[in-house]
């Protein structure tokens, strides 16, 4: 029986996924596509998708939330759990196991949280409602910083 997907495509995909930077590349592509779609005439479709109710039901127990909340509550928790595991591995056995090697990455992480938040506060000076969102650029930046480039 002839395979559905040609071997050259499967091999190329496997080679790409073997790259350490493949997850970062996919993250950037997904972020760019989401920004383009959200700011295009397709925005209503995008909004409908993130507002789409998704549910899990086991017997009498039912959890139903919009897709956006599943992403925020579930996938982001899994993502930061994996980041924490990677950080623990680096501290115990990796490049961060020597305390002298921790200083520069720690300063970079601190600056990576401080500067986006400071820029957000500077841009939104005088708007008390907008200033309540200062933590958003710091948390978003952590996602991109954690990727192996």
Mean pLDDT for 130-142 is 69
pLDDT at 67: 92
What does the pLDDT look like over 22-33, one tens digit per residue?
888 888 898 899
Tokens of 76: 């982001």
Q: Are residues 63 and 26 in the same domain?
A: no
What does the pLDDT look like over 100-128, one tens digit per residue?
888 888 888 788 888 888 888 899 999 98
Count structural domains, the chain: 3
Mean pLDDT for 38-51 is 90
Mean pLDDT for 63-74 is 88
C-alpha span between 2 and 119 (Å, rounded): 56
Q: pLDDT averaged over the chain?
A: 83
pLDDT over 90, % of the chain = 21
C-alpha span between 121 and 103 (Å, rounded): 27
* In contact, 50 and 66? CB cutoff 8 Å: yes
SS3 state of residue 61: strand
pLDDT at 143: 56
Mean pLDDT for 59-76 is 89
Q: Are residues 110 and 129 in the same domain?
A: yes
Reported pTM: 0.54
pLDDT of 149 > 50? The answer is no
Q: Are residues 93 and 120 in the same domain?
A: no
Owning domain of residue 77:
52-97
Q: Are residues 2 and 45 in the same domain?
A: yes
Q: Are residues 88 and 128 in the same domain?
A: no
C-alpha span between 93 and 101 (Å, rounded): 12
pLDDT at 10: 87
Tokens of 72: 């925020």
């Amino acid at each position: 029986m002839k395979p559905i997907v040609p071997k050259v495509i499967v091999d190329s995909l496997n080679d790409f996924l073997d790259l350490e930077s493949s997850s970062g590349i996919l993250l950037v592509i997904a972020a760019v596509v989401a920004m383009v779609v959200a700011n295009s005439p397709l925005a209503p479709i995008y909004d409908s998708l993130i507002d789409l109710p998704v549910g899990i039901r086991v017997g009498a127990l039912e959890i139903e939330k919009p897709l956006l909340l599943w992403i925020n509550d579930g996938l982001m928790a899994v993502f930061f759990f994996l980041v924490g595991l990677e950080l623990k591995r680096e501290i115990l056995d990796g490049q961060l196991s020597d305390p002298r090697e921790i200083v520069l990455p720690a300063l970079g992480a601190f600056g990576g949280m401080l500067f986006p938040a400071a820029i957000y506060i500077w841009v939104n000076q005088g708007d008390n409602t907008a200033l309540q969102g200062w933590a958003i650029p710091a948390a978003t930046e952590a996602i991109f910083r954690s990727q192996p480039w």
